[in-house]
Structure 1
Amino acid sequence: MTQRIALITGASRGLGAALAEELASRGWHVVAVARTVGGLEELDDRVKALGLPGAGGLTLAPMDVTNEDAMRHLCLSIHQRWGGLQLWAHTAIHAAPLAPAGSLDGKDLDKSIATNLRATGSLIPMVEPLLRAGDGTALFFDDPRAGSKFFAGYGATKAAQIALARSWAAENAQIGPQVRILMPDPMPTATRARFFPGEDRDPLHAPREVARRLLASL
Structure 2
Amino acid sequence: MTKTALITGASRGLGAALAKALAPTHHIIAVAKTVGALEELDDAIQTAGGQATLAPMDITIDEAMQQLCRGIFDRWGSLDLWVHTAIHAAPLAPAGHLAPKDMEKSIAVNIAATSRLIAYVSPLLGTEGRAVFFDDPRGGQQFFGAYGATKAAQVALARSWQAETVKTGPKVTILDPAPMPTATRARFYPGENRDALTDPSAEAARLLPEILG
TM-score (norm 1): 0.95
Residues 79 and 130, structure 1, Cα contact 8 Å, conserved in 2: yes
Alpha-carbon distance in structure 1 between the residues aligned to 2:150 and 2:109: 9
Alpha-carbon distance in structure 2 between the residues aligned to 1:34 and 1:28: 18
Give the corresponding residue for 1:6.
5
Structure 1 letter corresponding to 2:84: H
Give the corresponding residue for 1:47.
45
* Structure 2 segments unaligned to the other structure (5+ residues): none
* Structure 1 segments unaligned to the other structure (5+ residues): none
TM-score (norm 2): 0.97
Give the corresponding residue for 1:211.
204
Q: Which runs of 4+ in 1 moved over 2 A?
A: none
TM superposition shift of 1:111: 0.1
Alpha-carbon distance in structure 2 between the residues aligned to 1:91 and 1:189: 12
TM superposition shift of 1:48: 2.2
CA RMSD of aligned residues (A): 0.9
Structure 2 letter corresponding to 1:3: T
When structure 1 is superposed on structure 2, of 41-50 and 158-167 the one drifting more is 41-50
Aligned sequence identity (%): 63
TM superposition shift of 1:107: 0.2
Give the corresponding residue for 2:130.
137
2:152 to 156, 159, 162: 159
Residues 27 and 57, structure 1, Cα contact 8 Å, conserved in 2: no
Residues 14 and 207, structure 1, Cα contact 8 Å, conserved in 2: yes
Give the corresponding residue for 2:184.
191
Give the corresponding residue for 1:66.
60
When structure 1 is superposed on structure 2, of 200-209 and 58-67 the one drifting more is 200-209
Aligned positions, number = 211
Alpha-carbon distance in structure 1 between the residues aligned to 2:45 and 2:120: 27
Residues 5 and 87, structure 1, Cα contact 8 Å, conserved in 2: yes
Alpha-carbon distance in structure 2 between the residues aligned to 1:171 and 1:28: 27
1:33 to 31, 34, 37: 31
Alpha-carbon distance in structure 2 between the residues aligned to 1:169 and 1:95: 24
Give the corresponding residue for 1:104.
98
TM superposition shift of 1:28: 1.1
* Alpha-carbon displacement from aligned partner over 1:12-54 (angstroms, at most 9, x marks no partner): 0000000111111x2310000001111101111222232xxxx
Structure 1 letter corresponding to 2:60: T
